[in-house]
Amino acid sequence: MNKKKVATGGVIAVAVLAAYVAATAYVGHRFHVAYEARISKLQAAMPFLQIVDRKVDKTWFKATYSASIRIGCPAAGGADPAPVIGFSDQVRFGPLPGLSHFAAAIVDSRVVLPESAPDDLKRYVAQLPADAIRTRVGFRGGFRTSVNLPAGDIAGEWGKAGWAPLAMTGEGRLDSDDARIDLNWPALSLDLGGSRAAQVKLAGIRMQQETVGANASAWVRPGNSKTEVDSIEFRTGSDASQLAGRLTNLRYATEASVAQDLLEGKLTLQGDASLQLGRDAKTYKLDKIEVVESFKRLHVPTLQRFVTGAMQSLPGCEPGAEANGATAESGDAGTPSDPQLQARAQEALQGLAGLLAYNPEIAVERIAFTQDGQRGELAYSVGIKDFALGAGETLAEAQPRLVDSLTVKARTTLPVAWLGQLVALMGEPSTPEARRTQADALLDLALAKNYVVRNGDQLTSELLFERGSVTVNGKPLGE
């Protein structure tokens, strides 16, 4: 072989290797910066989650990030709470991580449980495959996480729990809060013992969630979600007073959007239910349950300031709390006194009052269900219009103006027959004839007072509170 060709080939090989090492180092640096930024953002948004004992072991081609998460803020001047859970991220950097993928990085995450965790749970976590929680990071900052957990069960003095295999995927970007999550969990059961004896079984759990908006608040994120549960069965209490029920075909959806810093959205719940109080009691079936709630014109910056202040006002979560130690007004180290807590609550309420300047409205558009072929419905809304606190004005001082700006609307439609069932549930009088007589008397009184209006087999009632006055069914209250 020509020595010149061999030398040239060697130079090319060295150049390719150098280029690969340089590319890996560059990708590793970018990943490290993005990883640290997301951890910092999480800690800032949720100061009650203390990320401690952080370690980074990094080489050219791989790195290990590990830490412990403590629930609750450390008491100033006192001992930190024990670690609740730890995690370890094993990262292989691209462009060919592990020589098996083409990606910026492959991350295999593992959970590290504390010694106090149940033995069954520790065995379950220890046996998880290496790729049970795997994230693939693309060169443009996108990522996809796959979580595949096998079936398992744990037991202890508290009771026992069991679950079917769980599959979840998440997609998003490291440089924004755009994300999508899909979850599928066929079954979950929980059986609590002792004085809190209760059994809960869930079947057919599916969830989809999308959030949009770069750098959105951790607590106020536009987007939508959909959760479906085929059935929930529950039972609790003693034989004589046990409460049992079954919820089926549950569908829960949310949607939220932000325009000009104003948040609005809707929450919808649908399903069927059957409830029983007492072992031999009658079962009440509620069909076509529907709950629709909405909110409009909630000022996002005010909400963010309120949440941030609330998080930082938790004991030990204040900036510099660990360094400052106990305050002079505190009793135990880091424990605020009652006056401090009251002052914080007043300050938070005053800050939240800033929402009122944007004409907010919160409504329950519909709570409805069908029982024995008859349907009832309730709706109400609360809104504020043309109100704002003056400079230095407190909410208490502005109360008269606030009442004038408040509008409350409510409407109820109920079957006449439900009045008789209500009397029966009260247990008195004991005979059906007496109960019918009492139900008729209550109905006559409500009609005479204009509390309700009868339309065939339906009773309706409408209430309006506006500018300090109350009207019921179109007439001033009391007339």
In this predicted structure, what is the pLDDT of residue 49?
73
Q: What confidence tens digit (pLDDT) does each residue in 380-391 have? A: 999 999 998 888
If one counts every other C-beta atom within 10 angstroms of the C-beta of residue 256, the result is: 19
In this predicted structure, what is the pLDDT of residue 82?
55
In this predicted structure, what is the pLDDT of residue 157?
82
Binning the chain into helix, strand and coil, the percentages to the nearest 5 are 25, 45, 30
What average pLDDT does this structure show over 46-65? 79
Q: Is 251 helix (H, G, I), strand (E, B) or coil?
A: strand
Residue with structure tokens 């087999």?
Answer: 457
Peptide bond between residue 429 and the one before it cis (omega within 30 degrees of 0): yes
| DSSP string over 196-242 | G-EEEEEEEEEEEEEE--TT--SS---EEEEEEEEEEEEEES-TTT-
Q: Is 160 helix (H, G, I), strand (E, B) or coil?
A: strand
Categorize the per-residue pLDDT at 211 as very low, low, confident or very high, splitting at 50, 70 and 90. confident
Greatest mean pLDDT among 4-13, 19-28, 293-302, 336-345 lies in 293-302
Q: What confidence tens digit (pLDDT) does each residue in 95-118 have? A: 766 656 677 788 888 988 888 888
Identify the CA nearest to 459 among candidates 470, 471, 469, 444.
444
The answer to whether 113 and 353 are in contact (CB under 8 A) is no
Greatest mean pLDDT among 48-62, 80-94, 265-279 lies in 265-279
- C-alpha separations of 331 from 17, 74, 344, 345 in Å: 64, 16, 17, 19
The answer to whether 321 and 313 are in contact (CB under 8 A) is no
Q: How many residues does the chain have?
A: 479
pTM over 0.75: yes
Q: What confidence tens digit (pLDDT) does each residue in 330-339 have? A: 444 445 556 6
What's the whole-number average pLDDT of the chain?
Answer: 80
The answer to whether 448 and 437 are in contact (CB under 8 A) is no
